[in-house]
Amino acid sequence: MYFSNNVIKVRYDLIEQSHNYALTENDVFDFYYDIFKMKEGQSVKNGTPLLSLRNHRLAFIFSDRQNFTPSVIMHVPYLHEKKLYLNR
């Protein structure tokens, strides 16, 4: 889940395996802070990230209405991927 330039990843694999013991918040959630280096006035558009199942990536669209710059698209690999995909 992406919110306010931070990502919270839910560890479903641990939840499914932990039938006999209680998990803490730090066990279940992985927190990633300040994901993107954004300029003053730049923000991530609502409705993103866009999911690309084919390329195993998420696409974030950045807009800057304060400085009137063009939108920027950033492709990010899935957090749980342990593979490298070499695309053209």
pTM reported for the whole predicted model: 0.59
**pLDDT at residue 84, rounded to an integer:** 64
Mean pLDDT across the stretch 66-77?
82
| CB-based contact 10:29 (threshold 8 Å) | yes
User: What are 54-70's pLDDT values in tens digits?
Assistant: 777 888 889 988 888 88
Neighbours of 34 (CB within 10 A): 10
Which has the minimum average pLDDT: 12-16, 69-73, 84-88? 84-88
Mean pLDDT value across the chain: 80
**pLDDT at residue 10, rounded to an integer:** 86
